[in-house]
Amino acid sequence: MSEGAPLLQLRGIAKSYGAHRVLSGVDLQLDRGESIALIGENGAGKSTFSRILTGVAQPDEGEILLDGERVSFSAPRAALAKGIAFIPQELAYLPDMSVAENILLNQWPARAGMTRRAASIRRAEEECRRYGIDLGDLSRRMGDLKLADRQIAEIAKALTRRARLIVLDEPTAALSEAESRALFAILGRLNAEGVGIIYISHRMDEVFGFSHRVAVLRNGSVVAVRRPSETTPGELIADMLGQAAGEAVHRGGADAARGEPVLRLADWRHGGTVALHGVSLEIGHQEIVGLYGLRGSGTDLLAEGLGGLRPEMSGELVLNGIARPPFRSPLEARRAGVAYLPAERKRNGLVLGHAIRNNLSAMVLKRLSRFGFLRQRAERRAAGDVAKRFDVRCRSIEQPVGELSGGNQQKVLLASRMAADPDVLVLHEPTRGVDVGARVQIHHFLSENASRGCATLLVTSDLEEAVAISDRLLVMREGRIVGTLTGAGKTQGAAVALAAGQDLDPS
C-alpha cells in the first residue's frame, strides 16, 4: 500500500467490442470511506465500467491502481481476492442453504455436518454484528428472505472477504422506500469503517441523499464529477444528455377531464398471503391516477388483476358503462380495451430474441393483417413510424430488442401498448431501471397519451414519479385503499404517512 494513495484510481480505461467503443479514456479516483454514485443514460458504459472493475471483463487500454498498486483481474475471483466485491441486480445465491452458509460461501469451517453448520452460523453472526447488520435468524433458508435482506446478505458476504471496495448495480431498483433507507444506513456505516462504495443509480434522490460525489458517464467517458451540494438534478441530467433536459412533467388534476368514469372497479377481492379487501376505484377520461403502497400492500396484485393475470380475482369491473367480472386472461383484457404494461419487461413484456419490429407490432397484428395474413410492408412502415415517434435508439427496427439499453427496451414496450389505442392503460413500474433522460421522455409520452383521452392507472413504487405525474394519487395499505391525495395535499410525505399507517394532520 502506498502511503496517502487513494483507494482506487482508474487511468485511461478503454474498452471496445468489435468496432463499438464502449469506454474511452475513463479516469476516476475514489478515496477510502467515500461513496461515488455513477450515473448516465442506458448505453453510456456503466455496466462495462463495473464489469472491468470487478474482473468480469478486461480493459483494452489503461490501468487500475488499488491503494497505489497497479492491479489487473482475469476473473471476478481475482478482483475479490484484492478486496473488490460486486453486488449485481440479479443476485446469485443458494436458496436452499442457510443465510449463514450463503454469507460464508466457500469459507465454511472445515468440519462436517451439523457441527459445521453451527460454526457457520456463529461466525456469520459475529461478522454481521461487527458491521451492524441485522438479518435475524441466520439458520433460515436464504430463499425465504425478502429481496432487500438478500442484498444485505450479499454485502455481508463481501465483508467476510474483507472487501475494501463494494460496487453495487442499482441496489434499490426493486426496494421500497423504507428498505432503501435501511440499505443506505448500512452503506453509511461501511463508509465510516473506510470501505469505498461505487453504486450505479438512476434515482436522483439517492444520488443527492447518500453520495459524496457523482460521476457522470456519457458515450463511454466520464464527462463530469460533482459534489451533490454543488450541483442540481437539472445540471446532472444535462451532463448525461449533453444538453439541457426536457422539462419534467408535473400534473395536479387540472389536466384531467371530469364526467362519467372510463373505468370503475367495485369491491375487488383476492385471497392469499397478499390480499385485496374490497378495493374500489375509478379513472376518468384523460386522467392519470397513481397507485402507491409499500411492498405487500396489494398494488402489484391490483395491477396484475387489471392485466388479466389474476383470474381468481372477484368483484365488478365497469368499462365504458358496461359491467362485467374481472378479466380471466391477458387476451380478454386486451380485447376489452385495456392495455397492461408489466413490471418485468424482460420476463413478461418483450420477446428479447425477436426484432424491434416484431415487438412493436405484437399488439396490433390484426390491424396489420388482411385475410389472416400479416402485411409485412405495412408492419415495417408502422413499426418504423412508432420507433421514430418514441425515439427508440437502434441500428434498425430489425435489431433484436434484447440488444437495446433498458430505457430503449422500455420505450419499445410502452409504444407497443399505446399502439393499440386502448381505452385504459395500466402501467406497472413504467420507469423501473431506466435512465433519467428516458424517464422524462416516458413521462411526456404518458401525459400526451392521457390528453388524447386515455384513462391511465400508474402503479409505481417510485414516490417521486407517483406524485409528479398523477392527477390523483391513491395510497394502499394491507389490501385496502386508505387515502386519496389531490392538489396541494398530493405530497411525498403524505403518501408515505398513509402507506405506513399514520393519520394525516388535518391542518
Concatenated DSSP letters for 91-127?
A: ----TTSBHHHHHTTT---S--HHHHHHHHHHHHHHH
130 lies in some domain: yes
Specify the amino acid at residue 215.
Answer: A
287 contacts 456 by C-beta, under 8 angstroms:
yes
Q: Give the DSSP H or E segment for 192.
A: helix 177-192
Q: Are residues 199 and 339 in the same domain?
A: no
For the stretch 295-322, pLDDT in tens is 778 999 999 999 999 999 999 999 999 9
Average pLDDT, the chain: 86
The better pLDDT of the pair 438, 469 is held by 469
Q: Are residues 412 and 345 in the same domain?
A: yes
Instruction: Provide mean pLDDT across the span 130-134.
Output: 82
Q: How confident is the model at residue 255 (pLDDT cuts 50, 70, 90)?
A: very low
C-alpha gyration radius of the chain: 24
206 contacts 18 by C-beta, under 8 angstroms:
no
Q: Are residues 322 and 430 in the same domain?
A: yes
The per-residue pLDDT for 74 is 92
234 lies in some domain: no
User: Considering its fold, how many domains does the chain have in total?
Assistant: 3
Instruction: Provide mean pLDDT across the span 216-233.
Output: 93
41 contacts 240 by C-beta, under 8 angstroms:
yes
Q: Domain containing 331 — which CATH number?
A: 3.40.50.300
Q: Are residues 178 and 129 in the same domain?
A: no
Sheet holding 314-319, edge to edge: 276-283, 263-270, 314-319, 322-324
Stretch among 278-292, 295-309, 347-361 having the lowest mean pLDDT: 347-361
Q: Is the pLDDT of residue 338 over 60?
A: yes
Q: Is the pLDDT of residue 8 over 90?
A: yes
Q: Are residues 324 and 280 in the same domain?
A: yes
Can you tell me which residue has the cell 450541483?
A: 231
For the stretch 470-497, pLDDT in tens is 999 999 988 999 999 999 899 888 888 8
For the stretch 94-117, pLDDT in tens is 888 888 888 887 666 555 544 566
For the stretch 28-39, pLDDT in tens is 999 999 999 999
47 contacts 58 by C-beta, under 8 angstroms:
no
362 lies in some domain: no
C-alpha to C-alpha distance for 200 and 235, rounded to whole angstroms: 18
Q: Are residues 341 and 429 in the same domain?
A: yes
279 contacts 302 by C-beta, under 8 angstroms:
yes
Q: Are residues 117 and 17 in the same domain?
A: no
C-alpha to C-alpha distance for 45 and 71, rounded to whole angstroms: 21
486 lies in some domain: yes
% pLDDT > 90, the chain: 44
Stretch among 186-200, 206-220, 386-400 having the lowest mean pLDDT: 386-400
C-alpha to C-alpha distance for 493 and 354, rounded to whole angstroms: 43
Residues sharing a CB contact under 8 Å with residue 243, sequence separation 6 or more, in sequence order: none
Q: Using the 8-state DSSP alphabet, how is residue 281 labeled? A: E
C-alpha to C-alpha distance for 145 and 389, rounded to whole angstroms: 42
424 contacts 289 by C-beta, under 8 angstroms:
no
β-bridge partners, 20: 17
387 lies in some domain: no
The x, y and z cell numbers of residue 109, run together, are 469451517
Instruction: Provide mean pLDDT across the span 292-297.
Output: 83
Q: Are residues 21 and 113 in the same domain?
A: no
392 lies in some domain: no
Backbone angles phi, psi at 350, to 5 degrees: -120, 155
The per-residue pLDDT for 245 is 52
Compute CA 268 distance to the chain's CA centroid, rounded to the nearest angstrom: 28
C-alpha to C-alpha distance for 21 and 344, rounded to whole angstroms: 29
Residue after which a domain boundary falls, among 122, 139, 161: 161
* Strand 288-293 to 263-270 pairing: unpaired
C-alpha to C-alpha distance for 37 and 436, rounded to whole angstroms: 14
Q: Are residues 114 and 36 in the same domain?
A: no
C-alpha to C-alpha distance for 57 and 78, rounded to whole angstroms: 12
Instruction: Provide mean pLDDT across the span 404-423.
Output: 88
Nearest by Cα to 257 from 10, 447, 489, 453: 453
For the stretch 45-88, pLDDT in tens is 898 999 999 999 999 999 999 999 999 999 999 998 999 999 88
The x, y and z cell numbers of residue 377, run together, are 410492408
The per-residue pLDDT for 162 is 85
Q: Are residues 188 and 272 in the same domain?
A: no
> In this structure, how many other beta carbons lie within 10 angstroms of the beta carbon of residue 86?
22
Q: Are residues 200 and 303 in the same domain?
A: no
Q: What is the DSSP string of 295-363?
A: TTSSHHHHHHHHTT--TT-EEEEEETTEEEPPPSSHHHHHHHTEEEE-S-IIIII--TTSBHHHHHHGG
214 contacts 231 by C-beta, under 8 angstroms:
yes
Can you tell me which residue has the cell 393483417?
A: 369
Q: Residue 424 sits in which domain range?
A: 263-350+403-500
291 contacts 301 by C-beta, under 8 angstroms:
no
225 lies in some domain: no
Instruction: Provide mean pLDDT across the span 126-140.
Output: 85
Q: Are residues 81 and 13 in the same domain?
A: yes
Q: Is the pLDDT of residue 145 over 70?
A: yes
Q: Give just the sign of the alpha carbon dihedral 270, 274, 278, 281.
A: negative
The per-residue pLDDT for 317 is 96
321 lies in some domain: yes
